[in-house]
Amino acid sequence: MEVHSTPLEGLLIISPNIFKDERGYFFESYRQDILKINGFTDSFMQDNESKSQRGVMRGLHFQNPPFAQAKLVRVVRGGILDVVVDIRNSSETYGQYFSIKLTGETKQMLLIPVGFAHGFMTLEDNTIVNYKSSNVYNKNSEGTLLWDDKTLDIDWGENHPVLSDKDLQGEPFDSFNSLFD
C-alpha cells in the first residue's frame, strides 16, 4: 500500500498493492497502522455504499462538529470524479478544491480528513462507491455546498448532472460560515 500526499494538507491518495492471478485479485482495502504512520489517527465508525447511473452528482456534503467525519472513499465498480473542498478556516488552502478520478479497476482510494466538503460525479452506469466514515451520520449536522458554485469554479466535466433536491439547494460558498477551525 502506497500513500501519496496532495496539495491540501492531510488529504491522501492511497494506492493498494493488487495481487492478480487466474482466480481474480486480492488487495488490502484498509490498514489502520499504515494510515497512522501517515498522520491519520481517527477510527472509522460507519461504512456507506451507493450505486448510481452515469452522470449522477452527490455532494458537496459535510457534517459539522461534533459529528464531523473523515472519510476513506473507494470505487468498487465503475468510476467517479471525486472532489473535495477545504473548509477549514485556519487552513492555508481554505476554499481550494482537489479532484481525482477513482475507478474500480485501479482501486485507488482517497482519505479525506475532517474539515472537507465531499462530492462525486459518476462516470459510468452502475457505479458503486464505498466509504468509511469516522463518525455516524447526524441529519442536524449536515451541510451542503452548491456543486456549481462560481467562487469554487470546480471543473466537473459534466454540464447537466442528475442531482437530488438537497444538492440543488446547496449553500453558495460566499455566504458559507465554516464551523471548522
In the chain, the amino acid numbered 28 is: E
Q: What pLDDT does 167 receive? A: 95
How many Å apart are CA 24 and CA 13, to the nearest integer? 24
Section 73-99 average pLDDT: 98
Domain locations along the chain? 44-175
pLDDT for res 92: 96
pLDDT of residue 101: 98
DSSP 115-169: SEEEEEEE-STTEEEEEEESS---GGGEEEB-TT-TTT----S-SS-B--HHHHT
Could you count the other beta carbons within 10 Å of the beta carbon of residue 86?
Answer: 24
pLDDT of 159 > 90? The answer is no
pLDDT at 157: 86
Q: Rounded to whole angstroms, how far apart are CA atoms 94 and 85?
A: 8
DSSP state letter for 105: T
Percentage of residues of the chain with pLDDT beyond 70: 99
Cis peptide before 16 (omega within 30 of 0): no
44-175 placed in CATH 2.60.120.10: yes
pLDDT at residue number 21: 96
**What does pLDDT average to over the chain?**
96
Beta strand 142-144 pairing with 2-5: unpaired
What are the pLDDT digits (tens) for 35-55? Answer: 999 999 999 999 999 999 999
**160 pLDDT above the threshold of 90:** no
Residue 34: per-residue pLDDT: 95
Instruction: Supply the residues annotated as catalytic.
Output: 61, 131
Mean pLDDT of 137-165: 93
Say which residue the cell 464505498 belongs to.
130
